[in-house]
């Protein structure tokens, strides 16, 4: 089974690792969910954080630009997340500046790179939030800051860390506070291996399954978890039952 111009990524590897039926639904059947207010909040918070880090704009400017960025994403529609995105942007930037006071400005923002490993047929793409000369920082906008980093986020940043040969840090922020997690070398090594094994498993599956219909018969549908909205649950059940 071939997918034209297929490329591995952290999100695809995590989908396959966590729920193969979700990988089939998203990447084999090509179903993409609409941007939700929570997703839009993340995009706009990163944008506002970038304004603060690159241009050292005032708090008021950061709040205004990140809020308007989110409003434009949804053609003027306003959500609860819109009220909070400015404060989240400020907290993300504050978390980075306090954790790394001597880091200066990032070198790159949302930098796309492609990597080829000898043990994999398909290349891996990485898209970093903020890349400095000697580290990468990934920002996560949320309404509830976790006490520990999410496992799929750790796997993503561990993959990036090894491929880019730089230490990785996760910064979570809500409209109320932030928390910073610097990933240890052991954590990065273990989770990188997990991601590579996920890619290898996926390639073995693709090499041995002749078509989409067989793939859906082999993998049972599992729509548990927050990554499925009601529309996708309904659509997936319809596809799997046909």
- CA-closest candidate to residue 155, choices 6, 10, 30: 10
Question: So what's the pLDDT on residue 97?
Answer: 98
Question: So what's the pLDDT on residue 190?
Answer: 98
Question: So what's the pLDDT on residue 225?
Answer: 85
76-97 in b/e burial notation, b at 16+ Cβ within 10 A? eeebebbebbbbbbbbbbbbbe
Question: So what's the pLDDT on residue 199?
Answer: 98
Per-residue pLDDT tens listing for the chain (242 residues):
888 889 999 999 999 999 999 999 999 999 988 889 999 999 999 999 999 999 999 999 999 999 999 999 999 999 999 999 999 999 999 999 999 999 999 999 999 999 999 999 999 999 999 999 999 999 999 999 999 999 999 999 999 999 999 999 999 999 999 999 999 999 999 999 999 999 999 999 999 999 999 999 999 999 998 888 899 999 999 999 98
Which H or E run contains 18? helix 10-18
Report the sign of the C-alpha dihedral through residues 131, 133, 136, 140, in that order. Answer: negative
Q: Which residues are CB-contacts of 210 (< 8 A; sequence separation ≥ 6)?
A: 1
Question: So what's the pLDDT on residue 32?
Answer: 85
> Rounded distance, CA 239 to CA 237, Å?
5
- Statement: 34-208 belongs to CATH 3.90.320.10: yes
The whole-model pTM stands at 0.95
Question: So what's the pLDDT on residue 193?
Answer: 98
């Amino acid at each position: 089974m071939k997918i034209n111009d297929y490329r591995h990524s952290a999100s695809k590897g995590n989908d396959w690792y966590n729920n193969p039926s979700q990988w089939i639904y998203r990447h084999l059947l090509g179903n993409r969910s609409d941007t939700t207010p929570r997703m839009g909040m993340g995009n706009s918070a990163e944008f506002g954080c970038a304004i603060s880090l690159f241009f050292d704009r005032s708090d008021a400017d950061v709040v205004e630009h990140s809020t308007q960025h989110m409003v434009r994403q949804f053609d003027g529609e306003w959500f609860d997340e819109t009220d909070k995105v400015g404060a989240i942007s400020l907290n993300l930037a504050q978390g980075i500046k306090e954790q790394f006071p001597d880091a200066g400005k990032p070198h790159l923002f949302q930098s796309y790179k492609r990597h080829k490993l000898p043990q994999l047929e398909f290349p891996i793409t990485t898209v970093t939030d903020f890349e400095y000369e000697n580290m990468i920082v990934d920002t996560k906008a949320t309404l509830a800051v976790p006490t520990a980093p999410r496992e799929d986020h750790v796997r993503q940043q561990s993959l990036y860390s090894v491929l880019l040969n730089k230490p990785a840090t996760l910064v979570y922020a809500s409209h109320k506070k932030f928390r910073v997690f610097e990933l240890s070398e052991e954590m990065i090594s273990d989770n990188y291996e997990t991601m590579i094994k996920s890619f290898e498993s996926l390639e073995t599956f693709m090499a041995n399954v002749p078509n989409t219909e067989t793939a859906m018969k082999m993998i049972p549908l599992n729509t548990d978890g927050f990554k499925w909205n009601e529309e996708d649950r309904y659509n997936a059940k319809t596809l799997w039952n046909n």
